[in-house]
Amino acid sequence: MKVQLNRLNDAVHFEASGMENIKVQIDGSKEIGGQGLGVRPMELVLMALGSCSSLDLISILKKQRQEISDFSVEVDGQRRDEVPSIFTKIHILFRLKGKIDEAKCAKAAELAVKKYCSVHDMLVAGGVEITYSFEIS
């Protein structure tokens, strides 16, 4: 796996692309010259965790023939004050709508987060406490 980043201005605005050549805008904080032109790197970490676990959760629920009419995920990270300001705790909240059995969703969420999500495992190996919950409506 390989990604490419190219700086787009004289500050810290980058354009990143992966294997599918889809572009992602990344920028730093204002304190280091960022101009709000992209996602911050630590936000990308939360997005990676949320998307990795969500892809697996949706896949598992579909295999269980659960009907998902809407899906969103909120990932909330707490960082320590010292530099480097790494994540110490992260909570994932899955919000689902549809005809979904709560027990099946609970089991699927556990598998998606704790067994199949490689981003979760990397963060936990680094000492991050990760919790999750879900809401079905």
- Helix axis angle for 102-110 and 41-63, nearest 10°, is 130
d(CA 29, CA 62): 39
Both tokens of 33, joined, read 């010259």
Enter the pTM of the model: 0.94
pLDDT one-digit tens code per residue, 63-110: 999 999 999 999 999 999 999 999 999 999 999 999 999 999 999 999
3-state class (DSSP) for residue 4: strand
